[in-house]
Amino acid sequence: MAYDEGLAQRIRERVGEGTDITEKRMFGGLAFLVHGHMAVGVSGDDLMVRVGPDSTDAALARPGTRIFDMTGRPMRGWILVAGDALTQDEVLGAWIDEGRAFAASLPPK
């Protein structure tokens, strides 16, 4: 599956160079990892965000979101945000920050 390169570039610009973030092709898309843990990614036109199990319900109450379900088994702690809900840089930035904060809370791999 191809992914939205424009969205990937917007994420790169937000996280900057020389940070704790690395890029890796995963799930047919592109993932951004913090200390080896996925924080956010791009799948098709959507943003994947790792919010953690305790924050899933609150994240799903926000516009354009749905549970991340790649294999027919919903993954609690992971959500997808529709690309058309990410037109404002502030909205994208908030999701990136949330995913990055959760991934940074995990022990390094």
Q: pLDDT grade, residue 34 (50/70/90)?
A: very high
pLDDT at 72: 83
Residue 92 vs residues 45, 48, 73, 106, 108: alpha-carbon distances, Å: 13, 11, 26, 22, 25
**Average pLDDT for residues 28-41, to the nearest whole number?**
93
Q: Assess whether pLDDT exceeds 80 at residue 33.
A: yes
Distance, CA of 68 to CA of 88 (rounded, Å) = 22
Q: How far apart are CA 99 and CA 95, in angstroms?
A: 6
d(CA 51, CA 84) in angstroms, rounded, equals: 20
pLDDT digits 0-9 by tens, 3-30: 999 999 999 999 886 668 899 998 789 9
- For the entire predicted model, the pTM comes to 0.92
